[in-house]
Chain A
Amino acid sequence: MDFFSTTIMKIVGSYGMVTTFAVLGIMTIIATYLSKNVLKGRIDPSALAVIMALILAYIGGAATGGKRGISDVTFFAGMGFVGGGMWLNYTLIATAYGAKLEELKKAGLAGGLALVVGTIIAFVVGALAAYAAGYRDAVSLTTIGAGAATFAVGPVTGAALGATSDVIALSIAAGVVKSVSVMILTPFLAKPFGLTTPAAAMVYGGLVGTTSGTSAGLAATDARLVPYGATTATFYTGFGCLVCPSIGYFAVLALTGG
């Protein structure tokens, strides 16, 4: 028995990516089966697979106390590699193949405007929530507002302004909540809110940002929308890093008087 388990761990250790493809394949089989037979097609298999992945991420985090979900469990370490930035960007690039340039051009302006509106929405909601929680200093309000934009912008802003580490941690948590809820909610909210066309997807990518959240959410909604949403979403984090610690901070400073 001991030989058995150590041998399996050895194989998984040297074939990390290969076993991950097997795990992903099995998850897809289960998701497709549940979607067709149990849920009668009410939830798309991709959306179901995303929810299953979130549960795995929770189990991984709870079991190991790590920060990288299920990939902190040795057996699933390959998930961290396949789900890392390199493969996300490489496959994301491929989704642009077959996308319509005319649609991208048509919604370019609306997508750019959405970028500005989306950053303002997230920043204001985050800062207001922080205010309601009792924070009154401009640095903390700005940092948490920036975190509500994306979990990458929060720490960048916090570090630039000299926020305390608990405020930075809170800003990251707000960003992660946003990203995760985009992944879960998008397939359910897409239709009622008109997220069905390439132009709407570009606007959506600009509004919510988080390239990973947007692409996962759109993949679970209608994979054909991914390239349009992702194109604008990739500008969001950079834009947020630019405006939150500068214009955003000055605006908060002016409103709070310090």
Chain B
Amino acid sequence: MVIYGLLIMSGCLVVGTFLGMCLGAALGISANVGGVGFGMLMLLLVTRKMQDKGLMDSKTEQGILFWRAMFIPVVIALVSRQNVIAALSGGWLAFVAGLGAVFLCFVFIRPLTALAGESSLDDDGTKLPAE
């Protein structure tokens, strides 16, 4: 059933967010620390387990795949509601601080990635549609 896919996603997001809030509270800040990250890991583990046990039928999978394909349109909507005016009105200080940080981060990608060893995106049929 398609709704089972949505059930898995909802469960992982809610539990993950709860864990993130708990971690935040434990650290003494009222913020969600890594909630969606925990949820994503959970979804990965749960669906992997279900596939191994043969519980993942194609309808359930379709429920998840639909929302995965909706990610890019949602991102486009998200970008269209950014406060671009505020970014432009901060003057040169905001630009130097924001852009400078981004450029420096790019420089550090290679050296830090080297720590992780071999990594590749070989195609195993899970490629996301472009739009």
By a beta-carbon cutoff of 8 Å, the part of chain A in contact with chain B is: 20-21, 24-25, 27-28, 31-32, 44-46, 49-50, 52-54, 56-58, 60-62, 67-71, 76, 79-80, 82-84, 87-99, 101, 103-104, 106-107, 109-110, 113-114, 117-118, 121-122, 125-126, 129-130, 132-133, 144-145, 147-149, 156, 169-170, 172-183, 185, 189, 193-200, 202-204, 207-208, 211-212, 215-216, 219, 222-227, 230-235, 237-239, 241-242
> How many B residues are at the interface, by size bracket?
35 or more
B110 touches A193 (CB 8 A): yes
Name the contact of A90 in the complex, choosing from B13, B82, B117, B126 (C-beta under 8 A): B13
Q: With A174-B97, A219-B75 as given contacts, are A238 and B23 in contact (CB-CB < 8 Å)?
A: yes
The distance in angstroms between the C-alpha atoms of A179 and B90, with both chains bound, is: 14
A194 touches B113 (CB 8 A): yes
| Residues in B whose Cβ lies below 8 Å from that of A207 | 105, 108-109, 112
By a beta-carbon cutoff of 8 Å, the part of chain B in contact with chain A is: 9-10, 12-13, 16-17, 20, 23-24, 27-29, 31-37, 39-41, 43-45, 47-48, 64-65, 67-68, 70-102, 104-110, 112-113, 115-117, 119-121, 126-131
User: Which chain B residue shows the least CB distance to A135?
Assistant: B93
User: Which chain A residue shows the least CB distance to B128?
Assistant: A223
The distance in angstroms between the C-alpha atoms of A132 and B94, with both chains bound, is: 12
The distance in angstroms between the C-alpha atoms of A180 and B87, with both chains bound, is: 8
A91 touches B83 (CB 8 A): no
Q: With A216-B79, A223-B130, A224-B121 as given contacts, are A113 and B115 in contact (CB-CB < 8 Å)?
A: yes
The distance in angstroms between the C-alpha atoms of A183 and B119, with both chains bound, is: 24
Count A-B pairs with CB separation below 8 Å: 351
Residues of B contacting A: mostly:
helix
Residues of A contacting B: mostly:
helix
User: Which chain B residue shows the least CB distance to A76?
Assistant: B80
The distance in angstroms between the C-alpha atoms of A3 and B113, with both chains bound, is: 60
Distance (whole angstroms) from the CB of B98 to the closest CB of chain A = 3
| Residues in B whose Cβ lies below 8 Å from that of A58 | 84-85, 88
| Residues in A whose Cβ lies below 8 Å from that of B129 | 223
Q: With A68-B81, A110-B113 as given contacts, are A224 and B128 in contact (CB-CB < 8 Å)?
A: yes
